[in-house]
C-alpha cells in the first residue's frame, strides 16, 4: 500500500521536508502533512537582504516572510530551520538575470530559482536531513506513471497553475518532489488555512520578483552593473532612425507605451539588438512569430527528444505565463530544437520560456521546455 505521497511507508515513518516561504500555500502544505501523521521538517530560505524588503508586500523569502514561516512551524509543532542561501541566489539567479537583460533578453528569474536553488540545492539539503521527499506549495500536479516514474501536469486550478515556471524540473528531481496543492483550488487552500488556525490565512500572495524591491528591473541592473547600460538609437524595422533611448534594459518585446515617439502610427518594440544598442520598433504585424528556436531544453517526454526529427511531434506550447497553451509542432534536427506555432503569436521574446505540453487540455502533462533563443516570422520550408 502506498501512502498519500505515493511511498510504500506509513506516514509516521516518512520524513518530509517542506519548503516554507512564509505564505499561505506552503504553510498549508506543512500543516496538512503534519495532520496526516508525517514526520515534517520546515525549511525557509533567506535569498536576499531581508532588511531591504522586510515590510514590502508582494515579495517572498525575506524579512516578515521568514518570521511568518517560523510562527506557523511553532503553531503546528514541527522543527523549522532558516538557511542562508544569499550567495547562491545572487550567483545563480540575480547575476544571470542581470546579464540576460543586458543581452536584450527578458528573463524569468523564478524559473532559474526553482531550477538552481529550490530543486537542486534545497533538494540536496533535504536528502542530508534524511527526507524521503521535498514538498512545496506550488500549484502543479505530480502523478505516478505505471513504470514508477513521475509526470508533471497542469494544476487543477487553471488560474493558479504554475507549471510554466516549473518546466525545468528534471525527471530525477520529480521522483523526490511532491506538490500537495496540485489537485486543490486556491479557495480550498485558504479554507484549510483558516481551519488550521494559521496566522497567514489571509496573507496576500507574492506577485513580484522578490529581489526587485522598487518594482523596476532597470534600477536593480544599474545598481549591480554600473556603467554597463548604454544609450543608442530607436530604429524602425524599415531602417529609419526615429529617436534615441537610454538603454535597452528599459524596453521589452511587445512594449507599446513609453517609447517617447510621435510618428502618427502605433509602434511596438519588435526586437532588442544588444550588440548595436538598438531598439527596433514597428507595426503590430511585425510582432507576429511562427518559428521559435529554444535552448537549454529540459525534456520530460516518454520518447527521446532527438528521435523526433523533421516530422516532429504535435504538442501545445506556452510562450508567456499569462497565455494559454497553443497548438504547435516540436522538431529536433541537426540544427537544434525548434517549435513551429500553428498560428502566429505576438510579442514572443528571447529569454522567456517556451513550455511544452502534451496538449492544450486543462490538465495536460508537461513534456518539458526551454529558453527562447531566437524567433522568426515564418517557419522554414520543410526539407525535401
Q: Which residues contact 377 (CB under 8 A, 6 or more apart)?
A: 286, 288, 289, 290, 291, 344
Does the annotation flag 237 for ligand binding? no
Does the annotation flag 307 for ligand binding? no
- CA–CA distance, 106 with 370 (Å, rounded to integer): 14
Nearest alpha carbon to residue 333 among 305, 368, 361: 305
Does the annotation flag 26 for ligand binding? yes
Q: What is the pLDDT of residue 303?
A: 94
Q: What is the domain partition of the chain in residue ranges?
A: 11-196, 230-282, 288-377
- CA–CA distance, 221 with 121 (Å, rounded to integer): 25
Task: Provide the CA 136 distance to its chain's centre, in angstroms.
Answer: 14
Q: Model confidence over 52-110: pLDDT tens digits?
A: 544 444 445 557 889 999 999 999 999 999 999 999 999 999 999 999 999 999 999 99
**Alpha helices, DSSP H, located in the chain:** 24-35, 64-76, 86-89, 95-102, 109-113, 122-128, 171-176, 186-196, 217-224
Q: Model confidence over 163-205: pLDDT tens digits?
A: 999 999 999 999 999 999 999 999 999 999 999 999 999 998 8
Q: To the nearest whole percent, how much of the chain has pLDDT over 70?
A: 93
Q: What is the pLDDT of residue 262?
A: 85
CATH class of 230-282: mainly beta
Does the annotation flag 22 for ligand binding? yes
Task: Tell me which of 3.40.50.2300, 1.20.120.530, 2.60.120.430, 2.40.30.10 is the CATH number of domain 288-377.
Answer: 2.40.30.10
CATH class of 11-196: alpha beta
Does the annotation flag 334 for ligand binding? no
Q: What is the pLDDT of residue 213?
A: 63
Q: What is the DSSP string of 171-208?
A: HHHHHHEE-TTTTS-HHHHHHHHHHHT-TTTTPPPP-S
Q: Which residues contact 322 (CB under 8 A, 6 or more apart)?
A: none
Q: Which residues are catalytic?
A: 113, 210
Q: What is the pLDDT of residue 89?
A: 92
Nearest alpha carbon to residue 8 among 147, 146, 150, 132: 132
Evaluate whether 11-196 and 230-282 have a shared fold. Answer: no
Does the annotation flag 23 for ligand binding? yes
Low-confidence stretches of the chain (pLDDT beneath 50): 50, 53-59, 380-384
**Buried b or exposed e, range 337-365, using 16+ CB within 10 angstroms:** bbbbbeeebbbbbbbbbbbbbbeeeebbb
- pTM of the shown model: 0.91
Q: What is the pLDDT of residue 126?
A: 95
Amino acid at each position: 500500500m502506498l501512502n498519500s505521497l505515493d511511498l510504500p511507508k506509513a506516514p509516521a515513518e516518512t520524513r518530509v521536508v517542506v519548503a516554507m516561504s512564509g505564505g499561505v500555500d506552503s504553510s498549508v502544505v506543512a500543516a496538512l502533512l503534519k495532520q496526516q501523521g508525517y514526520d515534517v521538517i520546515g525549511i525557509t530560505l533567506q535569498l536576499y537582504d531581508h532588511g531591504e524588503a522586510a515590510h514590502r508586500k508582494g515579495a517572498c523569502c525575506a524579512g516578515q516572510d521568514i518570521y511568518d514561516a517560523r510562527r506557523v512551524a511553532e503553531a503546528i509543532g514541527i522543527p523549522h530551520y532558516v538557511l542562508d542561501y544569499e550567495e547562491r541566489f545572487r550567483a545563480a539567479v540575480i547575476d544571470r538575470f542581470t546579464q540576460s537583460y543586458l543581452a536584450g533578453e527578458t528573463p524569468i528569474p523564478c524559473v532559474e530559482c526553482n531550477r538552481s536553488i529550490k530543486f537542486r540545492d534545497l533538494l540536496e539539503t533535504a536528502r542530508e536531513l534524511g527526507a524521503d521527499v521535498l514538498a512545496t506549495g506550488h500549484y502543479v500536479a505530480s502523478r505516478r506513471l505505471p513504470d514508477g516514474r513521475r509526470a508533471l501536469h497542469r494544476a487543477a486550478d487553471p488560474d493558479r497553475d504554475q507549471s510554466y515556471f516549473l518546466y525545468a524540473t528534471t525527471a530525477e528531481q520529480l521522483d523526490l518532489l511532491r506538490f500537495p496543492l496540485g489537485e486543490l483550488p486556491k479557495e480550498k487552500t485558504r479554507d484549510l488555512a483558516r481551519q488550521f488556525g494559521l496566522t497567514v490565512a489571509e496573507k496576500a500572495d507574492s506577485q513580484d520578483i522578490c529581489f526587485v524591491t522598487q518594482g523596476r528591473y532597470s534600477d536593480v541592473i544599474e545598481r549591480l552593473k554600473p556603467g554597463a547600460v548604454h544609450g543608442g538609437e530607436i530604429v524602425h524595422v524599415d531602417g529609419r532612425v526615429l529617436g534615441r533611448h537610454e538603454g535597452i534594459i528599459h524596453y521589452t518585446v511587445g512594449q507599446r507605451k513609453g517609447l517617447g515617439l510621435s510618428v502618427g502610427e502605433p509602434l511596438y518594440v519588435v526586437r532588442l539588438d544588444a550588440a548595436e544598442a538598438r531598439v527596433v520598433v514597428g507595426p503590430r504585424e511585425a510582432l507576429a512569430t511562427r518559428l521559435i528556436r529554444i535552448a537549454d531544453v529540459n525534456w520530460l517526454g516518454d520518447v527521446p527528444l532527438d528521435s523526433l526529427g523533421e516530422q516532429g511531434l504535435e504538442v501545445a506550447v506556452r510562450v508567456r505565463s499569462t497565455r494559454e497553451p497553443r497548438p504547435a509542432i516540436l522538431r529536433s534536427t541537426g540544427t537544434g530544437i525548434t517549435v513551429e506555432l500553428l498560428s502566429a503569436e505576438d510579442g514572443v521574446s528571447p529569454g522567456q520560456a517556451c513550455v511544452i505540453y502534451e496538449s492544450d487540455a486543462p490538465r495536460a502533462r508537461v513534456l518539458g521546455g526551454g529558453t527562447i533563443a531566437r524567433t522568426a516570422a515564418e517557419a522554414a520550408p520543410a526539407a525535401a
